[in-house]
Structure 1
Amino acid sequence: MSTFAPFSYIRRNRARSAVLALMLGFTAVCFLAGMYIEHQQAVFELSYDKPSDYLLVYSNSNSMEIVNELRDFGEVCEDYAPDKADTVIGVSNLYFSYKTIMGYDNSTGSILFRKEEDFEEFNRVMTDVPDEVVLKDGEIMLSQTLANNWGVKEGDVLEYSEDWDKAYFADPVTVKTIVDIPGMVLYGVSSEVNGDTVMFLRSEPDTVSGYDRQTVNDVLEDAGAKISADYPHIQIQTNYSWLNEIKDQLSMFKYILFAIAFIIGLVLAVTVNAAFSAAYEKRKYEFSIYKAIGFSKSQIFGKVAGEVLLLDLIGLITGGLICLLVILTVNYILGPQGIYFFKVSVTGILSTIGCNLMVVVPTILLNLKRVRKYDVTVY
């Protein structure tokens, strides 16, 4: 191997190179931070990042003006039902909480039906819930992840109390069945709920021609726009509108992540550059000789950049493997509790790339400037 090749220095200085690579690989901590921060959004995406099968109209305030507007809409709601989603059902929004991977509770919404036949119709046209699921009054269905998160099993009776405060049911409910579907999902039947939320449900399953999910979604979005124009104070919810609202609420966490990545990049840029500067200062005779025997500036730049980038690649691979080990360990330990990393964080990847560039680019340029000053006639 040529002594001018980037890998030759790494091979001859394994210990020092390992330390430099680990310092560069520390930028991968931004990916792990992104995984933690985006976990909250990922929970919602599992349930809502898909075309809508129904539209919900409800009040998110106790204001009499809004309550009266919702009541007025309820009297004419069938006039707004689109052709492909003309099933109108009165349901109740139920908000429940679950433990997040960050240690605190978060909340999301679910649906309680007032009548058994309403849930039967819902299940008939939906493909997310297994056909064999049948719920009677006072029974609920949970996804496996939510059941694990709550620590409940089929047959358990749930009632709001000081010892169990995950959700408020008007009367005790029984966990009828637990199904293996993604996300934190709860459906139930309770004749005790008021049913003040209006649901426009798809008329046929997506297996029927003309009722594919995207077509029905577009029809529901158009219907929601018309309702919102006529009744501006009541809440309109589709999958996409709900998910966009969640993303807006959680967007500050992404800015926090980018700020963390910037701070880490700044600290590492100073630290890593100082370490590389010390290493290159000890090699001033080596680079002076390279210049003396005729290596061009571009060749010297290639050597400096090659060494830094190769160490950076080794560091990122090492950091990535450590992150993978942490993720697998967390999933193994907390998975049985319904708490685990669902998906790879794109924001974490982008913040890692940005942080890494903040470190690598200045290191290459500053050390290239340094080695260009070395002169064999001086040393």
Structure 2
Amino acid sequence: MLQPSAAFMSSARPRQIARWLFVVAGLIVLMVVVGGITRLTESGLSITQWKPISGTLPPLTEAAWQAEFDRYKQIPEYAAFNQGMTLGGFKAIFFWEYLHRLLGRVIGVAFALPLLWFAAKRQIPAGYGWRLTAILMLGALQGAIGWWMVASGLTERTDVSHLRLAVHLVTALVILAGTVWTALDLLNLNRTGTASIPARLSIGTGAALVALYVQIVWGAFTAGLDAGYAFNTWPRMGDTFFPAGVPLLSPAWTNAVDNPVVVQFIHRWLAFLAAAGLVWLAVQATRTGSRIGFAVVGLVTLQIFLGVATLMTGVQIEVAVAHQANAALLLIAAVVAAHRVGTRHRV
């Protein structure tokens, strides 16, 4: 007769759970892309209430649409930029924010219901239940962070706080990284059985991922402050490496997060530090026999080109969205590379 632990492992389905997690990761990437479109189309403040359940349905009657539009007219963004907007114009911006929120709900259901199913069937391998629950809780927190971000633009500001926008984006990408990493651990478990040891981050691979996240933070600051519009030349900002006569804030450190020109400058050149760390990570992954390093280098190169193109096209929406989407793909590739290195070190 099987011992209890062996019986549990015999019912575990690590491969199926990993596949499910990769589907969820794909939905998160889609969510990041739609979030970028929502920001670039200035649609994020079109829904002025947070209704987690009843907000699943859009307005269904003309009266309901007019009521929603009237609520939007009460916020500073409408008074400053959109006076004279038609109901049709409002519906256009409402669509992107509604789709963004709807995707959040879809991801929540797509994660919670299968998790409950796998748990009820005792198919979650030992040691993974807490990890999957933590990802679920972080996803729930992300919904609250999203509303916290939107709320910052409903009373005094004409846009959302760029700091809260950064928290919202980084939280989404932490969830994405955790989902992919857990799926990869489960695939290793499926291949090697109970002897599998989860991969671990080394100091070097962890530093490379942190550098990427820091660059993403400044990307969020750039988007939130509309700093991408400050200068559309590269590598110089106008005629010089750093433009002269830029009004600076006090205290000096606040320029790094609140001054659009300085924020764009940091985002421009921090990219190469992050790229260097990721190329190093790619080399380490290649030494394990994996080809994921080539994907990392390719995506890093593409990301830099897309960043430059975003600036030089005056933040053309298609290019800017591609830049944000590629950042999510680059993160996935970097996580896979770091996991491969971490797996080798644990063997």
Q: With structure 1 as the length reference, what TM-score do the two structures score? A: 0.26
Q: With structure 2 as the length reference, what TM-score do the two structures score? A: 0.27
Computing the radius of gyration from Cα coordinates, the structure with the larger value is 1
Higher strand share: 1
Higher helix share: 2
